[in-house]
């Protein structure tokens, strides 16, 4: 019995580095340059927080950025677009509430009475973004796919230029 337990324990200990290796293998080998991240996002089922940070900073600066995640995050924190207390990594899945919060702060959307009184929260930022046509409906905790992120950024770009997300009217 002891031998069997020891064997199981040894097998479990041996599997830990393997799991770590699998996690490392999923990370991109090198930082993507220029538009490569855009094409990767298009193929992803779930967009990452790092992808959104990079795209939103590019949108705010009106210039594409290839800076690494930490630099981008610090820049966004300084601008008030990302909260310092968020425990999110570059590969953390992006949810609609977080994306809506970032878009509201980046585009200077003040929202309605609730947001004006209680401040920007993920829940009400999402409501505001749905109302303005920046994001499709859903819940604040729902994950965002790569393609939805691209559409949301396109809508945000349109909103920034024209003050409306309706691309059919001037």
Partner 1 sequence: MRRAIVLSAGLAWAASLGAQDPPKPAPAQPAPPREAIEATIVALKGTVDVKRPEDKDFVPAERNMKLKKGTEICAAVASSATLLFTGDVKVVVKALTQAKIEDLARQGGEVNADVNLKFGTIEVDIKKGDLKADMKVTAPNSTTSISGSLGWVRSYAAGGGGFLSIRTESGSWNHSVHGLGLDFPIEGAGLANDRGDLPGDLDYAFGTRTFLDFFGKHKDELYRGRWSIKAGDVHPWDLPFFEFAGTAPSSKKHRKAAILPPPPRPPFP
Contact positions vs partner 1 (CB under 8 A) = 34-36, 38-39, 42, 55, 58-59, 61-64, 133, 136, 145-148, 150-151, 153-154, 157, 166-169
Both tokens assigned to 120: 């920007």
Contacts of 81 (CB under 8 A, 6+ apart): 56, 57, 60, 102, 105, 106
Q: Are 53 and 82 in contact (CB under 8 A)?
A: yes
User: Which of 38, 67 has the CB closer to partner 1?
Assistant: 38
- How many whole angstroms separate alpha carbon 123 and alpha carbon 141? 9
| Residue 148 C-beta: closest distance to partner 1, Å | 5
Minimum CB distance to partner 1 smaller for 46 or for 121: 46
Question: C-beta of 86: minimal distance to partner 1 in Å?
Answer: 22
Among candidates 64, 78, 77, which has minimal Cα distance to 88? 77
Residue number, 95 or 148, with CB nearest to partner 1 = 148
Smallest gap from Cβ 146 to partner 1, in A, equals: 8
3 versus 169: smaller Cβ distance to partner 1:
169
Q: Which two tokens stand for residue 150?
A: 């691209």
């Amino acid at each position: 019995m002891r031998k069997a337990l020891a064997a199981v324990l040894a097998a479990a200990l041996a599997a830990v580095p393997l799991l770590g290796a699998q996690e490392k293998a999923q990370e991109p080998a090198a930082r993507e340059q220029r538009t490569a991240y855009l094409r990767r996002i298009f193929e992803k089922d779930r967009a990452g927080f790092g992808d959104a940070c990079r795209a939103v900073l590019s949108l705010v600066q009106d210039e594409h950025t290839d800076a690494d995640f930490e630099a981008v995050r610090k820049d966004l924190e300084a601008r008030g677009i990302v909260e310092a207390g968020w425990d999110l990594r570059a590969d953390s899945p992006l949810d609609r509430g977080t994306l809506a919060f970032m878009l509201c702060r980046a585009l200077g959307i003040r929202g309605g009475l609730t947001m004006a009184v209680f401040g920007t929260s993920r829940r009400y930022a999402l409501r505001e973004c749905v109302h303005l046509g920046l994001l499709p409906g859903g819940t604040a905790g729902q994950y965002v796919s790569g393609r939805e992120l691209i559409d949301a950024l396109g809508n945000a770009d349109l909103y920034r230029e024209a003050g409306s997300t309706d691309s059919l009217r001037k």
